[in-house]
Amino acid sequence: MQNNTARGILFLCVGLFIFSLQDAIIKQVSGAYALTQVVGLRSLVGVPILLTLVQREVGWRALLAGGMGALVLRGLIMFGAYTAYYMAFPALPLADAVALYFTVPLFLTALAGPVLGEHVGWKVWTAVALGFGGVLVMLQPGSGLFEPAALLSLLAAALYGVSMLMARKLGNSQVASVMAFYQNILFLAGSTLAAIVLHLLDIHTATHPSIRFLVRPWVMPTLHDTLLIASCGVIAALGTMFLTNAYRIAKTSIVTPFEYTGMLWAPLWGFLFFAEVPKLATLCGAAIIGVAGLVAMRVAKH
């Protein structure tokens, strides 16, 4: 059990670092390409990688074994989570988008009761409320500085929390590579279908950068950008494997606090690649969210 716990923590930290690279890449291309095109190409590259991982771990027949309905549902939820998450990138500094997304542990704590049947006491709810106080510090509603795209990061966090709890429940019957493959296929199918629907509806532009990123028509990418976007397929396949395995082999309440290691990378990439300097409100709000999440996790274990 201790070995599984240590491995779960390590997998989570490595997976978050890997995914932080993808965040920087997608923000980089968000001003020129459609989100559906980026996700579609990324997912297409990931298919052979994940098929190879499935074959090596359990064999391809496992893809058609039982539990397909739950795997598809989880893939759809993850597609919704990452669509919302990426849509926030053009409108927010990277550190803000990622810090708000790291309310995931708070959502995981709050949802552990109804989804996993775990007892959630008043102390945990107090910590969760404190965490969302940190969200208000970051958002500054009513100040004239509020950016609606911030709500996309929060929606992404809630959906991601549900999907990770599902991964925990599916962990007894499904291996990480199979869950990751279904997730990737749903990303590919969802992005392609969304692009077709938007084209048929003749929706090609919008005033808000988040919506514009979603509805922008596909264009031929440069070789440099093609390689950048394609690298996200490798990053996503590896990152998904690490994260899914983390929640599959270790208890949610133990590994979830380490989600906050992902907060270390966004300000760094934002500064290095986009010359973004985090605001004081962002740093204070992120600190409150982090402390509240850690307290919630600690109290929930006792």
Q: How confident is the prediction for the chain on average, in pLDDT?
A: 84
CA proximity to 245, closest of 138, 139, 193, 171: 171
Query: Which tens digits make up the pLDDT trace of 18-46?
Result: 989 999 999 999 999 999 999 999 999 98
CA proximity to 43, closest of 22, 28, 63, 64: 22
Is the pLDDT at 161 greater than 90, yes or no?
A: no
Query: Which tens digits make up the pLDDT trace of 124-149?
Result: 777 777 877 888 787 766 555 578 88
Number of domains in the chain: 1
CA-CA distance, 110 to 113, in Å (whole number)?
7
Burial 120-131 (b: 16+ CB within 10 A, else e): beeebeebbebb
Note down the domain range covering 173: 2-300
Highest-confidence segment of 2-6, 58-62, 118-122, 132-136: 58-62
